[in-house]
């Protein structure tokens, strides 16, 4: 479906972007989905418990609970570069918060910096889902768009291919020097239920967002994949002091894209 067929809801045009792994990056409680029943709620609770147990150990899990009309499908995944302890903490928190944020709908999704969790009564496994998205972009433009975009395109191509490669845990990271003093960092991620082909297709859609054009930093978050690039390090191994100094003075604008 063409981008023009979606509504764009602009939040604050300029927000101070102070990154925190403890705060959600995006959330969806689909008000167009069915209302939960006592049996579905019970299945969701069981599903979330199983997702936490498995994902804390392996960094990724898909599972189902129930049968027929009460069956629930769930997926949880940590970012592939995130240490196990951070992954476990993130998933436990996400499983707790998703029920608070969406207590009575059968389609819920919650993104954090280090992990993602979702459930639905419809089977979404192995399918590209870009119907709902959240976009963040630095309000500042680069001074040399041609040179920057050439370097960005080459870097994102590499991270996209890495994310789609077998054994990658669904994530690709990379960096490239723009000058002696400036480095560009990028990350691509797919949910691990996607095939390599579908992963590349999802990332291509994310990379094609004109919202990011000529921006110093940008992030596109979909249910099946996400991309991000910045002029400061934000993935592991992480220079936390440098990342905090850079991100805490960065102003971003955000857009929510809905069907």
Strands 133-138 and 218-222: antiparallel
Q: pTM for the full model?
A: 0.85
189-219 pLDDT, tens digit each: 999 999 999 999 999 999 998 889 999 999 9
Q: Which tokens is 256 given? A: 């929510």
165-192 pLDDT, tens digit each: 999 999 999 999 999 999 999 999 999 9
For residue 201, give the H/E element and its range. Answer: helix 196-207
**Are the C-beta atoms of 113 and 25 separated by less than 8 Å?**
yes
Q: Which residues contact 59 (CB under 8 A, 6 or more apart)?
A: 77, 78, 80, 82, 84, 87, 169
pLDDT confidence tier of residue 245, bands split at 50, 70 and 90: very low
Q: Which tokens is 199 given? A: 């992963």
- Residue 5 has a pLDDT of 34
């Amino acid at each position: 479906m063409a981008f023009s067929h979606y509504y764009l809801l602009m939040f604050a045009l300029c927000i101070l972007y102070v990154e925190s792994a403890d705060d959600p990056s995006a959330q969806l409680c689909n008000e167009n989905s069915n209302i939960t029943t006592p049996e579905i709620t019970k299945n969701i609770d069981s599903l979330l418990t199983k997702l936490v147990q498995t994902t804390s150990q392996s960094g990724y899990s898909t599972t189902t609970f129930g049968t027929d009309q009460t069956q629930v499908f769930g997926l949880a995944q940590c970012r592939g570069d995130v240490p196990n302890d951070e992954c476990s903490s993130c998933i436990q928190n996400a499983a707790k918060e998703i029920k608070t944020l969406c207590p009575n709908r059968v389609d819920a999704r919650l993104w954090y910096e280090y992990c993602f969790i979702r459930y639905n009564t419809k089977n979404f496994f192995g399918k590209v889902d870009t119907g709902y998205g959240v976009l963040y972009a630095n309000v500042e433009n680069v001074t040399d768009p041609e040179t920057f975009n050439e370097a960005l395109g080459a870097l994102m191509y590499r991270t996209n291919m890495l994310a789609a490669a077998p054994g990658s845990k669904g994530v690709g990271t990379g960096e490239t020097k723009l000058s002696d003093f400036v480095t560009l960092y990028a990350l691509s991620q797919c949910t691990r239920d996607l095939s390599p082909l579908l992963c590349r297709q999802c990332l291509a859609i994310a990379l094609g967002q004109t919202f990011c054009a000529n921006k110093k930093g940008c992030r596109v978050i979909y249910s099946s994949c996400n991309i991000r690039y910045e002029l400061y390090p934000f993935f592991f191994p992480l220079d936390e002091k440098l990342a905090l100094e850079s991100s805490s003075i960065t102003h971003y604008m955000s857009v929510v894209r809905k069907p």
